[in-house]
Structure 1
C-alpha cells in the first residue's frame, strides 16, 4: 500500500478549515481583542521585523530588483506603525457578521432578508508587499474567516515574520489556533496546490501583477476575486448601498 503526502498548502489549508468553523461564531469583542493584540505585537517587535527586512532588501538589490519594487518591499518604523494603526482601524469597524440587510415582511408575515456570514477559508496569494500579510489577515479575522497566506519569494522572509507575529497574537488572544497560516515553501508548485484545494479553500484573492492574476483566474477551482493592475475605475449602481461600496 502506498500513500501520497499532502502538499504544505493543503496541510495548512486543512488546519485553517478546522479553525474557521470555530472562528465563524467568535464574538466581536474577542476578534477585536485579537486585532489589538496583533497591532501591539507589531509595535513591540518592530526591531525584529526590521532585522529581517533589511537583509532581504539587500539581497533583492544585489539581485537587480528595481527601485520601485524595493520600495514596496521596504519596512520602516513608520510603516510598521502605520500597519498597526490600520489593524486598529479594522478593529474599530462594525462587526459584519450577523448583519441583516433588505429585510422584508411577506404578506403571510414571514420575514425574509440577507444575513452576512463568514465565507470560511480565504486564500491570499500576493507578491512583494509584506504589509499585505497583515492587511489581509486582519480583514479576514474581523469578518470571521480563516486565512491561508502565500507570499512572493522576494519578500518571503519579511512576510513570514509578520504572519508569525499575527498567528501568535491571535492564539494568545484566545482565538482558534491556525486561524492564520502562512505557506513557508517558496516552491511555485505550492501555488498550484493551493488553487486546486477547493475542498479546503472557499475563495482566493490574488494581489500582484498581470501574470499572477491571470494564473489564479485560469487555474483556481474555487471562486476568485481579482482587481485590476492599475488605472482602475469603480462604478456604483444606483441601487447599491453607497456607504458599503
Structure 2
C-alpha cells in the first residue's frame, strides 16, 4: 500500500527531472531551441494562449469531434460485433471484408471522407468514428467468442432460443470487452479528429499544431501536444470510473 502511495511522487519526480534536463540542455546550447523547444518557453506560451482563450477554442473543438466520433463509432461497432454472434454464416461472410478494411490505414481514407462529408465538423467526426468502429467491432465480436461455452450449452439444453441466449449470456459476457474497447478507442477517436483537422480545418488542436509546426513554433506545438495528452488522461480517467461503476 505504501509503495502505491509513492507512485504519484515517483511520476512527478520523473517528469520534473526530464523537464529540468531538457531546460538545461537548451540553455547550455547542447539542444537547439529551434529543434526541441524549451520548457520555460512552452509554459509561457501555455499561459498566454490560456489567457487569450485561444487554447480553449481549439481544445473544445477537438474534444467535441473526438467524443462524438467515439460515441458513434464505438456504439455502432459494439452493436455490430454483438449482432454478428447471432449468425455464424453472416460472420463468416463478413470476416474477410472486415480484415481487409482493418488492414487499410484509415488515414489513407481521410481525403475521401473530406470529399464525402465536406470540410466542416462532419469529416472529423466521420474519421474518428471510422477508426473506433472497426476496433470496437473486432474486439466485441472476439468477446462474444470468449463467453463460457458451458453457459451457452446449458441454455440450449434448457430450450432457450438463440436470441434469448444472446440477450441473457452473450451480451453480459461480452460487456468487459466493450468497456476495455471504450478505453482503447479514446486514443483512436482523438487520432481521427486530429488527422481530420490536419487535412482541412480552421479550428482544433490538429489545426493549431499543424500551423505552429509550419511556422517552426515548437513551443506552440508542444502546447498542443500537452493539451491532447491532458485530454486523453481526463477521458481515460472518466472511463475508468465508469468501468468500476459497471464492473461485471
**TM-score in terms of structure 2 length:** 0.29
- Work out which of the two has the higher radius of gyration on C-alpha atoms and give 1 or 2: 2
The structure carrying a bigger helix percent of its residues is: 2
The structure carrying a bigger strand percent of its residues is: 1
